[in-house]
Amino acid sequence: MRPDRPTGVGGVGPRRRALLLAGAGFALLAGLTGALVLLGLAMPAASLRLGAVHGLLMAFGFLGTLVSLERAVALGRGWGYVAPLASAAGAVMLVAGAVSAATWLFVIAGAAFVAIYLAFDRIERSVHGSVQAAGAAAWLGGAILLAAGRSVGAIVPLLAAFLVLTILGERLELSRVTRPPRAAQRAFVLACLVFGGGVALTVVAPDVGSRLAGAGMIALAVWLGRFDIARRTIRSTGVTRFIAASLLPGYAWLAVAGAMWLAVGVPLAGPAYDASLHALFLGFVMSMVFGHAPVILPAVLRLPLPYRPRFYAHLALLHAGLLVRIVGGDLLGSVAAWQLGGVLNVTALLVFLASSVVAVIGGRKEQRATRATARVRADVGT
């Protein structure tokens, strides 16, 4: 794939990328506000409507902007930034109450995201690229259905496919380091086809399709647990071990979500709905975000994000909160446990955001100090 071009024709510099990343951060904060509304906590009246668009803010506004920005940087062409720009603008429109305008912006973002992968395919055709392209198509399909009047609940499987397939494609690309056997690669493709086929089927047969997709998710989780490089790197140290410690529990949550989908489909409300969605979108997807952030953010912003041991705090908060929410709240029926788990999840994401900002600032200071020391030594040497 083409390297990033920070300057020149079609180049978008780090400062403009930082503005787009700030758009993702805005969507995250608005989405978390909506989460607190849905948890039934006392919130300002002006924020109450954010509860209805919480899922869209998190999936399209935050994660969509973040993922498409990273892909646009990798492509290195100016038009690629239409995807994160449109998705960030869509989040702003959602907060402003212009839901219809936001929906069409997400359609534009999805179309631009698909175009990015078409450009990648012309540069290098690969299985992992095709898997990610299928995820982009799921984004576009979900946004189109939303614009056509489908409910957010009806497009949940497509939102899941967008994120799961994008992540799986990246992990497959990295698995080339461990060189899984051909039979394992064929098994991966088959599991993706089962999952993707099930998701597509939900458009016309939601119950059957979601159960089939659940079986595919379980198969993919088993594959990741067996062949992903995180099994080896968990024995390493520093940031490498932290990344693995983020990924492996995420694979377990993917299996849990798959088992729920297989057993009951994707319900539209109630404890089963809450558990199945958050096992996937928090337990799996956010674990992946936490794990990949020390690698992705420096690539996007050209700023260091040095690993800090405190990163384990937001990781632990995420999984502890999810266990309390699903086991104590959804399974055992305790409203207090459900709310406590939800608040811990929100806290985990806020701590992640704050900790990343502090680490970037600290890394920037260290970088400047190193350069200043190098200059002094150079002057002394001359």
What is the C-alpha separation between 313 and 116, in angstroms, rounded? 35
Q: Which two tokens stand for residue 263?
A: 């057993």
Higher pLDDT, 187 or 176: 187
Question: Region 341-351: what's the mean pLDDT?
Answer: 96
pLDDT digits (tens, 9 = 90+) for 236-264: 889 999 999 999 999 999 999 999 999 88
Look up tokens 């409507």; give the residue: 49
Q: What is the DSSP letter of 302?
A: S
End-to-end CA distance of the chain: 42
What is the C-alpha separation between 126 and 130, in angstroms, rounded? 6
In percent, how much of the chain has pLDDT > 70?
A: 92
Per-residue pLDDT, 367:
66
pLDDT at 2 > cutoff 70 = no
pLDDT at 380 > cutoff 80 = no
Q: Which two tokens stand for residue 104?
A: 């069409």
Which of 23, 41, 45, 2 minimizes the C-alpha distance to 94? Answer: 23
Q: Which long-range contacts (CB under 8 A, 24 or more apart) does 39-43 make?
A: 39/338, 39/339, 39/342, 39/343, 40/339, 41/339, 41/343
- Contacts of residue 172, defined as CB under 8 A and 6 or more positions apart, other chains included, come to 127, 128, 131, 188
Q: Please list, residue by residue across 203-240, b when 16 or more beta carbons sit within 10 angstroms of its beta carbon and e when fewer do.
A: beebeebbbbbbbbbbbbbbbbbebbbbbebeeeeebb
Contact predicate 93/101, CB 8 Å? yes
Q: What is the pTM of this model?
A: 0.89
pLDDT digits (tens, 9 = 90+) for 53-84: 999 999 999 999 999 999 999 888 989 999 99
CB atoms within 10 A of CB 321: 22
Question: CA-based Rg of the chain, rounded to a whole angstrom?
Answer: 21
Q: Domain coordinates of the chain in residue numbers?
A: 15-125
Supply φ then ψ for residue 13, to 5 degrees. Answer: -70, 165
pLDDT at 4 > cutoff 70 = no
Contact predicate 130/97, CB 8 Å? no
pLDDT at 343 > cutoff 50 = yes
